[in-house]
Amino acid sequence: MSDALPEGIKHLVQIKQVEKSIKLTDKAKAELQSVGMMDEKGKLKLKGVSPKMLKRMKLEAVDCPVLNAETAFVQCYVCPNYHSRIMGKVYCKGDPL
């Protein structure tokens, strides 16, 4: 397998496990609610993601190259720069937000 990134992808980011879930930012929560992925009470409802997988995703984090900060994987998953997740790594488009 080659180390070349697919076209349009600037970053390959490692997913890491965390002890306690990282809080979503207020901006991310508002964005999730506006697109219908979170209800008014703050409960996530990601289409196509089982409750078991969502629980696992909440305990994962990435060092976001766009925000230059550690963010929750759920926030990364709903980011417009998110391309795909393969074998514990995320392909990120790296465009400014």
Please state the domain extents for the chain. Answer: 11-92
Q: What share of the chain is helix, strand, coil (3-state, %, to 5)?
A: 25, 30, 50
pTM for this model (two decimals): 0.83
Is the distance from CB of 45 to CB of 29 less than 8 angstroms? no
- Per-residue pLDDT, 3: 65
- What pLDDT sits at residue 52? 92
Given this model, what pLDDT does residue 34 score? 84
pLDDT along the chain (97 residues), means of 10: 77 95 85 84 83 91 94 89 93 91
